[in-house]
Structure 1
């Protein structure tokens, strides 16, 4: 699942998240770091005897909110070669199409494409669709000018919780699937669970229309049914209990059983699993748990409408996720670094001493697909929530190993709210619409402490660590 903190305001679907970053001071590579004051030193402890967990190669993944379909013209943004390049950098990953609006979307196979969609497809008709040019410039400019007005419509629905039904066409499905396929992503499509018969069973007829179309196009898609069914009463005045929802999933699985593909089914996509939501989840799993491939739920650190910068620096809020998944999403560049440097074997790292909660440290085997690294290497990533610089000290047996530093900070005067990012003091930006920048390391002198300026985030690859669990 993608777990993301939402901010007020919506942008065209560039899939970027705000980083937990802050100002960083200089760090000179190639020379030993000066001894840190005792109060600023943080001794690390690693457990590397065996992996504690294995994460999917698709971790982390991301979502396109279903409200994009409120006006299908804006699906045309998915034809952007720049957007596809950015998404391809995060592959392998799941692309989830879902959200509150998903339960108010109806597939209409006879609906004509919007002018913008038709213009895009006509411009690509004689090309390899995955190597095609960008959106026609006049179409893209028109959509960008109109997006702020569409944003207001979406925000009004979101905040008032007054959703209206919208229809989407087969052309919109084509655009979404092509974007996922050309970006190396596996599409998860969330279907409308609020379509009900008079006796309150799920009406699967619209889903069958979509499945038939996807089958005719050989689209291999995974599925969800409903978004946060625990909130259906508030959103739509309809109450569905867990048992009924489980029966609905059984019906859906029967439909999928007729497909030539081995389609995965995920659910129930509930909100924060607590109190009544837990009761719904238990009832759902008892009734229909055997037909799903994975259980899904949504984790929210804070209320996105009233969240402050201080909330994102609060270790108590970060601790709310310990019992579920152990990594949050940052902005795009942070996500890209994670994908390139972090492998799927999870090890244990901790900070010795008191007040450990404000130094968040995580340890994995290094991603050996990176050409610079090999089996046995370690990747440490860390977040400093202190308002002073902290110096991380590796365990004694790793103290003299070569370490590559990847330290990120915001660029410009806006601090934590900056939209541009520096990696090792170099601004990260695309070379062109089809080329991502090099993510260049900064080697540290063996024996150096790992300096973490206030509110900073960094990755440190420990080379030639020769950790058996990573070989």
Structure 2
């Protein structure tokens, strides 16, 4: 017996020396922390793709449609800097890439000097392609209108009404609307500015116009899409802009929206994807936006994150579409839900180094993580606590199945972590999926086949875990 004890002691000593630790996760499923929309994880297409006549994206491609349906229900946000150059042309015609834009299919180096780019048209055919695709795959369209269609300092709404007139006569399902993109940094791209009070009045006008259309009685108005400040833009003060806007035009909104990126995608390295400072900075930003929105407009006002990824400027070459990008994305999903952000839009479904589909229209690891989250994770959110540091991060929701619970998270340490559950879950069997960089996913069956039954598990260094508890009688909130 003494030899066995000595062997066990040495084993534990060696593991401790190399950093191994055990944690206990406690899920407070007796209290719902927040509740998100069924479309919580959603996606975008950048308006820039319309300038490129979709830039290689084929809406009729059966694989593309199948990949999109895997993410339903979702909202498809079509917006971006180019939205403020777009005019709808209510006629069918031959679509060409804008003469002022050199067609660019390099996913990372497509930056444009927007100050020298002229406006461009979206044709009726392109609207049909977009709206029909969204309807076919179970997505709801969120379309960003041109806020720079102005006269005497005010938004005219005339071109928007052309689109409303046309779209309202076509049966394309519900459409939600935005007005403008990142208004707090308009001077950087367009050398023009709109003060927040004026923009607030513009949104009130948009709301009035939309309500005139029977087809859009269920449409939501979402804005103003302020963006997280960048270090080289000292004049950008997004929270100050957001506060002034909400005070002037917040009553027009069904959801308050904002954008977030962690770093400059053209300068980031692999270390940035596991840097705890980046993880924690988003949590603080999310807290601030949510608290200020609810202070000004009340507790029931929805907050949406309508454009987000890891690195701005198109993402990070050779990194944003690989396994390492899953950590920031999964954490953002967990933090957003905990903070009460009801919907989060991944930039983007296609195009850019951060696209869920690569230039060959093939799924990336970040796509499969998004599908896994969509399949398993429900709308009610719970708090998860543990007895370890910030490199171990876990979140919990009701599962998508009745009386089920899902716990998901990551181990960012360079050593393994043993995971147990506390309280009533301590002796309940579950199924767990562990994902490390060396596991190649080519289809969802590759994920399903890796779930194993257990009552505890070990997470390797730099790994992700999804845990499914089924038929939990005691979890009243998930019934």
Compared with structure 1, are the counterparts of its residues 72 and 228 closer, same or farther at alpha carbon in structure 2 (3 Å cutoff)?
same
CA apart distance, 1:202: 0.9
Name the counterpart of 2:408. Answer: 381
CA apart distance, 1:44: 1.7
State yes or no: 1:352 paired with 2:387.
yes
Name the counterpart of 1:428. Answer: 442
Conservation of the 8 A alpha-carbon contact between 1:75 and 1:172: no
Paired with 1:86 and 1:153, the residues of 2 have a C-alpha distance of 19
CA apart distance, 1:410: 3.5
1:190 to 144, 153, 160: 144
Q: Counterparts of 1:429-444 in structure 2 under 5 Å?
A: 429=443, 437=445, 439-442=447-450, 444=452
Name the counterpart of 1:270. Answer: 226
Any idea what the Cα deviations from partners look like across 1:383-413, whole Å, max 9, x if unmatched?
11111111111114322211111222345xx
CA apart distance, 1:71: 2.2
Compared with structure 1, are the counterparts of its residues 154 and 253 closer, same or farther at alpha carbon in structure 2 (3 Å cutoff)?
farther
Conservation of the 8 A alpha-carbon contact between 1:363 and 1:381: yes
CA apart distance, 1:45: 2.2
Name the counterpart of 2:301. Answer: none
Conservation of the 8 A alpha-carbon contact between 1:43 and 1:351: yes
Name the counterpart of 1:48. Answer: 29
Conservation of the 8 A alpha-carbon contact between 1:398 and 1:465: no
Paired with 2:411 and 2:156, the residues of 1 have a C-alpha distance of 50
Q: Which runs of 5+ in 1 are unaligned?
A: 1-33, 117-146, 369-373, 412-420, 430-435
Conservation of the 8 A alpha-carbon contact between 1:91 and 1:184: yes
Name the counterpart of 1:121. Answer: none
Q: For the aligned residues, what is the CA RMSD?
A: 2.7
Name the counterpart of 1:222. Answer: 176
Count of paired positions: 379
Name the counterpart of 2:51. Answer: 70
Any idea what the Cα deviations from partners look like across 1:110-137, whole Å, max 9, x if unmatched?
3503389xxxxxxxxxxxxxxxxxxxxx
1:251 to 184, 187, 205: 205
State yes or no: 1:210 paired with 2:163.
yes
Paired with 1:90 and 1:35, the residues of 2 have a C-alpha distance of 43
Name the counterpart of 1:406. Answer: 433
Compared with structure 1, are the counterparts of its residues 41 and 148 closer, same or farther at alpha carbon in structure 2 (3 Å cutoff)?
farther
Paired with 1:95 and 1:63, the residues of 2 have a C-alpha distance of 5
Question: Could you say which structure has the higher strand fraction?
Answer: 2
2:418 to 388, 391, 395: 391
Compared with structure 1, are the counterparts of its residues 257 and 443 closer, same or farther at alpha carbon in structure 2 (3 Å cutoff)?
closer
Q: Which runs of 5+ in 2 are unaligned?
A: 1-10, 231-235, 287-304, 306-330, 334-345, 347-364
Conservation of the 8 A alpha-carbon contact between 1:404 and 1:462: yes
CA apart distance, 1:235: 0.8
Compared with structure 1, are the counterparts of its residues 342 and 85 closer, same or farther at alpha carbon in structure 2 (3 Å cutoff)?
same
Q: Counterparts of 1:12-31 in structure 2 under 5 Å?
A: none
Conservation of the 8 A alpha-carbon contact between 1:361 and 1:381: yes
Conservation of the 8 A alpha-carbon contact between 1:111 and 1:168: no
Any idea what the Cα deviations from partners look like across 1:66-85, whole Å, max 9, x if unmatched?
11011225476122111111
Q: TM-score, normalised by structure 2?
A: 0.73
Compared with structure 1, are the counterparts of its residues 335 and 249 closer, same or farther at alpha carbon in structure 2 (3 Å cutoff)?
same
